[in-house]
């Protein structure tokens, strides 16, 4: 069996989460808890259960909220190009999201995300330059605004990423180190450029994988 331990720290609070995953044939079973599950005695707070068949479906159940979330995936061909389709429905808030990504080649793809009934659509273009640098401009139709992201692989398994949200004027920097089979480590810093103090917010997150 595989187990995953996640911890997160920021200036305001820190937290931990753990996930136990079991492979049952071609289906994955997962149970996740957070520190809210065990603080002040065992409880159902933070407990989530999941069933996944990779590439086909994911069913998540939030135990304390009694909320089901369904996600179905499929791939079809459009002009001989793969179109990856995802249907997501959250039971509690009755929200349905449709997502599609058309892959032109290994370096170029476009995606669209739409929440039914919202009248909004988010569009994104992804370009990978020489397999190392990724550019991702995105456009929010409802807000009539652009967001930008650029990331680059360095030192093999490290990834540096910079993002900028034009509506909120938030600049973000992210460093991720992939520890291969043992997990990963991520540090994120963000600053609101519209804030006079421009005080950065820094968070750190680590994920560790174990065989139990």
183-189 long-range contacts, Cβ below 8 Å, gap at least 24?
A: 183/4, 183/207, 183/208, 183/209
The pTM (predicted TM-score) of the whole model is: 0.84
Neighbours of 37 (CB within 10 A): 19
Exposure string over 124-150, b if 16+ CB within 10 A, otherwise e: bebebeeeeebebebebeeeeeebebb
- Sign for the pseudo-dihedral over CA of 211, 180, 36, 96: negative
pLDDT tens track, the chain, 212 positions? 777 778 888 766 666 778 888 888 899 999 988 877 767 667 778 899 999 999 999 999 999 889 999 999 999 999 999 999 999 999 988 999 999 999 999 999 999 999 998 888 999 999 999 999 999 999 999 999 999 999 999 987 899 999 999 999 999 999 999 887 788 999 999 999 988 888 889 989 888 887 76
Q: Rounded to 5 degrees, what angle do the CA atoms 196, 197, 199 make?
A: 135
Going along the chain from its start, the domains and CATH numbers come out as 1-65 (2.20.130)
Query: Are 201 and 193 spatial neighbours (Cβ–Cβ below 8 Å)?
Result: no
């Amino acid at each position: 069996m595989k187990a995953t331990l996640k911890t997160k720290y920021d200036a305001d609070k820190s937290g931990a989460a753990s996930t136990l995953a079991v492979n049952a044939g071609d289906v994955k079973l997962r149970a996740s808890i957070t520190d809210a599950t065990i603080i002040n005695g065992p409880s159902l707070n933070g407990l989530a259960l999941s069933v996944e068949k990779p590439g086909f479906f994911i069913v998540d159940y939030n135990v304390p909220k009694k909320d089901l979330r369904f996600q179905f995936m499929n791939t079809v061909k459009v002009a001989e190009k793969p179109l990856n389709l995802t249907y997501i429905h959250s039971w509690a808030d009755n929200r349905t999201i449709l997502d599609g990504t058309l892959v032109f080649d290994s370096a170029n793809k476009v995606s669209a995300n739409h929440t039914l009934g919202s009248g909004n659509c988010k569009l994104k273009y992804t370009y990978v330059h020489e397999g190392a640098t990724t550019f991702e401009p995105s456009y929010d139709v409802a807000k009539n605004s652009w967001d930008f992201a650029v990331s680059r692989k360095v030192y093999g398994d490290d990834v540096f990423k910079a993002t900028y949200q034009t509506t909120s004027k938030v600049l973000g920097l992210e460093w991720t180190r992939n520890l291969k089979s043992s997990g990963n480590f991520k540090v994120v810093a963000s600053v609101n450029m519209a804030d006079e103090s421009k005080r950065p917010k820094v968070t750190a997150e680590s994920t560790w994988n174990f065989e139990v």
